[in-house]
Amino acid sequence: METLKTLIIGSGPAGYTAAIYAARADLKPILYTGMEPGGQLTTTTEVDNFPGYPDGIDGPTMMVQLQQQAERFGTEVRIGFINKVEFATQKGEMHKAFAEDGTEIYAQTIIISTGATAKYLGLPSEQRLRGGGVSACAVCDGFFYKGQDVAIVGGGDTAAEEATYLAKICSKVTMLVRKDEMRASKAMQHRVTSTPNIDLRYNTEIDEVLGEQVVEGLRMKNNQTGALEEIPITGLFIAIGHKPNTEIFKGQLDMDEAGYLITKGKTTETNLSGVFASGDVQDKDYRQAVTAAGTGCMAALDAERYLQGI
Ligand code: NDP
C-alpha cells in the first residue's frame, strides 16, 4: 500500500501537464499511463496546431517529450492501469485506487485524465473483421495497406486527417460521409478535396463490410436514393468520434448522458472533494491537445489549492 498526495490517471497531454505542475508544486505525483501510454496523440501524425512548434511535431514524439518533462520534475510514471477507485466522500479523507498489478494506493487527491476511446459503427460485419482489416487508427495500421484500395468512414477532423494520411500510402481512399457536408474544419476539408486519390462520397453509409476472414470489399448505401454500390477494398478505417473512458467511475462521479465527467464552473473539480478531471474525459466540445494540456494545468493547481485547505 502506498500513500501519496496526488495520483494522476492517464497519460495524454492533460495527464502529463497535470504531472508537470503537480511535480513542480512538490506534490510528488505518481502517474499511471493507462492502456495506451501517451494517449490519442500517439496515433496521430502531424500536430500542427500546438503552440510553440512552428514546423509541427509528430504526436508520438510530442508525448515522449511531455513524459520526459514530467519526469524531470520528479513525476513517477508507471506503465499500467488503475482498474478500480473507491473515492472518499468526505473532504480530507483518502481516496483508494487499485492498480491492475495489485498495488493499492491511498491518495489525497486524484486527477482523472483518462481521455476518450474510438467509437465503432456496431455493424456485425465490422465487429467480426476488427483486426482483419477493420481499424480505428489509420496511423497505426495504414502501413499494412500500402499500394492498396481502402475506405474511411466519418466527416470530422479525425476522418479528414486520416484520409489524407492514407492517401499518401494507399492507391485509393474512398471516404464515406453520412451527411451532405463534413464536420471537419474548412482547412481539413480543403486538404481532402484537393487530394486526387480520395473519392469523397457524401450521403453515404456502410451497408455491409464484405469478407469472411479479412476485408475484401464494402457495400455502400446512398441514404438519399437508397442506391447500393460494392467496391473492392482491403482496409476499412472507422473515424466517427470517441467515447470517454469513465466506465470505472460510474456511480461515483457525476457524468453527462454520454459519460463525460462533469466539472464545476470554470474549475476541474468533480462532485467529490479532492477529485479533479482534465482533458477529453471532461470535454466533448474542444478536445484539442492544447485545451487538454490547459485543463491538466488547472487540475494540478486545483489539487494544490485543495491540499493547502485541508
Ligand atoms: P467528431 O465527433 O468531430 O466527428 C465524427 C464524425 O463521424 C462526424 O462527421 C459524424 O457525422 C461521423 N459519424 C458519427 N457517427 C457515425 C456513424 N454511426 N456513421 C457514420 N458517420 C458517423 O470526431 P473526430 O474524432 O473527428 O474529432 C474529435 C475532436 O478532435 C474534434 O473537436 C476535432 O476538431 C478534433 N481533432 C482535431 C484535429 C486537429 O486539429 N489536427 C485532428 C483530429 C481531431 P455527423 O457530422 O453526421 O454527426
170 lies in the same domain as 205: yes
Q: Looking at the structure, do residues 80 and 167 belong to the same domain, yes or no?
A: no
Q: Which residues line ligand 1 (CB under 6 A)?
A: 49, 121, 153-159, 161, 178-179, 183, 205, 240-242, 287
Closest atom, ligand 1, to C-alpha of 161: 42
**pLDDT of the residue at 265:** 97
Which tens digit of pLDDT belongs to each residue from 81-109? Answer: 999 999 999 999 999 999 999 999 999 99
- Given the residues 26, 140, 180, 256, the one annotated as active site: 140
**Is 150 in the same domain as 197?**
yes
- pLDDT tens digits for range 104-150: 999 999 999 999 988 999 999 999 998 899 998 887 789 889 999 99
Which amino acid does the sequence have at 53?
Y
In angstroms, the Cα distances linking 289 to 40, 81, 204 are 9, 21, 30
pLDDT at residue 139 in the model: 79
217's grid cell: 470489399
Of 175, 178, 236, 243, which is best to mutate to test ligand 1, by the most ligand atoms within 8 angstroms of its C-beta?
Answer: 178
Do 124 and 234 reside in the same domain of the chain?
yes
- Average pLDDT for the chain: 95
138 and 192 in a common domain: yes
Q: 155: domain CATH number?
A: 3.50.50.60
- 137 catalytically annotated: yes
Q: Strand 134-135's sheet: what is its strand order?
A: 134-135, 235-238, 149-153, 172-176, 198-201
Domain limits at 68?
2-117+242-308
Nine cell digits for residue 68:
520526459
Active site residue 297: no
Distance in Å, CA 105 to ligand 1 centroid: 36
Which residue has the CA at smallest separation from atom 18 of ligand 1? 121
The atom number, within ligand 1, closest to the CA of 118 reads 25
- pLDDT band with cut points at 50, 70 and 90 for residue 283: very high
**pTM listed for this prediction:** 0.77
